[in-house]
Amino acid sequence: MNWAVIQATLPTFIEATLLTVRVAAFGIVGALIVGILCATITRAKLPVARQLVWVYVEISRNTPLLGQLFFLYYGLPKLGIVVDAEHCAVIGLTFLGGSFMAEALRSGLDAVEPIQWQSAQSLGLSGVQTMRHVILPQATAIAMPALTANVIFLIKETSVVSIIALADLVFVAKEQIGSDYTTAEALFLLVSCYLVILLPVSLGAGWLERRLRHATFGD
């Protein structure tokens, strides 16, 4: 292990880490928004909208992110729509992650006892108020382990975006290995940077899960 090489290339990996975090953060936020919307629609009495959500979930979950990125970056320009690499990565993560978030939240909604709906309605709450203040907090607490797993999954999926020439961690590591043949150093920095990103997320999500369950159920 050549520590001089690691020191020299560390700034490049830090820059790539920031890019990876930025893409992952926007993708995860977008996936959560899509997931909440889709999970809510599955509880609504809107057959057409529910069918559209089902189609989206099936397409999203059964196609790889790699194929989605190829379509966004190389396919859309054929239709006259040009999107830069970073936005393609965010859109791809949102599209892929939204279906997983929707299924996690749907399972959480299904786990909430029907009496909760009835109690909220007996207190005069509207359907929207019931969902927002009573049902969704409980469903989120129940689904938190699955949501956490999806967040970590999406962060790790950013390793695929290098295929569209986005200078993320994997792209920088491959470039260093290809140009300088410092494989051990590049892989050490790659793994270290992913640990720096993922460990705080994992620990923070565990803490948040405990807080949510305590605040919602008193566990």
Query: What are 91-126's pLDDT values in tens digits?
Result: 999 999 999 999 998 888 888 887 877 777 777 777
CA 188/CA 190 separation, integer angstroms: 5
pLDDT at 5: 79
pLDDT at 218: 59
Domain coverage including residue 81: 3-217
From the list 34, 11, 13, 10, the residue with the least C-alpha distance to 90 is 34
Q: Which parts of the chain have pLDDT scores under 50?
A: none
Domains held by the chain: number: 1
CA 101/CA 54 separation, integer angstroms: 13
Compute CA 147 distance to the chain's CA centroid, rounded to the nearest angstrom: 9
Radius of gyration, alpha carbons of the chain: 21
Q: What is the pLDDT of residues 133-147, one digit of tens each?
A: 777 788 888 888 889
In CATH, what number is assigned to the domain containing residue 108?
Answer: 1.10.3720.10
Q: What angle do CA 214, 33, 95 make, to 5 degrees?
A: 125
How far apart, in Å, are the Cα atoms of 189 and each of 78, 172, 184?
Answer: 37, 10, 9
pLDDT at 216: 65
**CB–CB of 72/108 below 8 Å?**
no
CA 158/CA 153 separation, integer angstroms: 9
